[in-house]
Amino acid sequence: MSYKDKIKTDLFPTIWCPGCGIGLIMTQLATVMDDLGLDKSNTVMVTGIGCTGRMGAYMQFDSVYTLHGRTLPVAEAIATVRPELNVIVVSGDGDLTSIGGNHLLHAIRRNPRIKVLCNNNEIYGLTGGQTGPTTPVGTKTVSSPAGATFSPVNLQGLVNTNPNAFYAKTTVYHQGQMRRAIKEAIEWPGFAFVDITSQCIENNGRRIGFPSANEMLNYYKKEYRQAPPGSTQLANHQLGIVKGKPAETEPVPVGAASGNGSGEA
Ligand SMILES: Cc1ncc(C[n+]2csc(CCOP(=O)(O)OP(=O)(O)O)c2C)c(N)n1
Ligand code: SF4
Ligand SMILES: [Mg+2]
C-alpha cells in the first residue's frame, strides 16, 4: 500500500491554488494513515467549510462535510456512537476558532477521542483573505488594510486548559515533524489538536510581501525551531508536542454517564 491509495488522485488537479499548503498536510496525513493501517473500515473524517474543508472530498474515506464551524460536535457525536472508529477532523483556523470557537472550548473540556488537524493559515482563505482570530497583530488583510488590531487566540493555552489533552505545533515546511505530530495525535487516547502553520499564498502571503509559496516555506524554515525535549510549554515559533496526562480511563462518551435522554425516571 502507499499513501497515494488514501487519496483520490483521479480527481486531481485539486481546487486548491498552486503553492497552497493544504496539499502538504493531506500528503502527510495520508502517509500516517497508511502507516497506521487506517482505512474506510476503521476511520471517518470530518471537515469544515473553507479551502481546508475540501480535503474530505479528496481522500478515500467516508467523510462528513459539515456546516461552517460545526466539525467538532459532529465528530464528537460519531466518536460517541461508534467508539471503535478513529475520528479525524481537518479544519481551517477560522472554522475551528471563530464560528466554531464555542465548540472548540467545550470539546477541549470534554476530552473526546477525536483528533483535530488545524490548517492554520492565519486567515479566512476561501472568502478572500479576511482577518480571523489567528491573524497576527499588524498583518494587513482585505478586512484590516491598516493591519490586524487584536491579539490572536492562544491555541496552545486553550487546548492545555484540559490536563489530559494533546497539543502539537508544526508547519508545512517541517514535514517529518508534522508527520510525527499527526501520528502521535492519532494514537493519543483522547482529544488531540495539531496546529499546523501553513501558507495561503493567494489571499494572505502575497499581500504581506511573499512573492511565492517558496518564500513562505523558507520563512517557516528560518523562523521556527524545535523546542527542547520535554518542554511543557512551547514559546512562539517553537515546534513540538505538549502532552497532558492521558486520561486514566477511556474518555466517557458524552452523555453516557448521566443517562440524560434515556427516558428513565
Ligand atoms: C455560517 C457561515 N458564515 C460564513 C460563511 C463564509 N465562509 C466560508 S469559509 C469561511 C472562512 C474559512 O476560513 P478558514 O476556516 O480559516 O478556512 P481556509 O479557507 O482558510 O482554509 C467563511 C467565513 C459560511 N460559509 N457560512
Ligand atoms: S485561497 Fe489560500 S487557502 Fe485557499 S486554496 Fe488558495 S492558497 Fe490555499
Ligand atoms: Mg484559514
Domain map (residue ranges) of the chain: 3-243
Which cell is 216 given?
513562505
Distance CA 213, CA 198 (A): 10
CA 213 → CA 128, 165, 198, 216, 258, distances in Å? 17, 32, 10, 5, 50
Q: Which residues line ligand 1 (CB under 6 A)?
A: 49-52, 68, 92-95, 99, 119, 121, 123-127, 132, 200
Distance 124 CA to ligand 1 centre (A): 6
Model pLDDT, residue 249: 67
Q: According to the model, what pLDDT value does residue 59 have?
A: 98
Closest ligand relative to 123 C-alpha: 3
How much distance in Å is there from the Cα of 37 to the middle of ligand 2?
Answer: 30
Residue pair 141/127 in contact by the 8 Å Cβ criterion: no
In angstroms and rounded to an integer, the radius of gyration of the C-alpha atoms of the chain is 18
For residue 260, report the distance from its CA to the centre of ligand 2, in Å: 43
Q: Is 197 in the pocket of ligand 2 (CB under 6 A)?
A: no
The Å distance, Cα 91 to ligand 3 centre, comes to 8
- By CB atoms closer than 10 A (0-12, 13-18, 19+), residue 69 is buried
Choose the residue to mutate in 25, 26, 198, 200 for probing ligand 2, maximizing ligand atoms within 8 Å of C-beta: 200
Give the span between the Cα atoms of 99 and 103, in whole angstroms: 9
pTM: 0.94
- Shortest-distance Cα residue to atom 5 of ligand 2: 16
Q: Shortest CA distance to 114 belongs to which of 191, 30, 193, 36?
A: 191
User: Nearest to residue 192, comparing CAs of 82, 102, 39, 79?
Assistant: 79
Distance separating alpha carbons of residues 168 and 197, to the nearest angstrom: 11
Ligand 2: residue whose CA is nearest its atom 2: 200
How do the pLDDT tens digits run along the chain, 265 residues long?
Answer: 789 999 999 999 999 999 999 999 999 999 999 999 999 999 999 999 999 999 999 999 999 999 999 999 999 999 999 999 999 999 999 999 999 999 999 999 999 999 999 999 999 999 999 999 999 999 999 999 999 999 999 999 999 999 999 999 999 999 999 999 999 999 999 999 999 999 999 999 999 999 999 999 999 999 999 999 999 999 999 999 999 999 876 655 444 444 444 434 3
CATH number of 3-243: 3.40.50.970
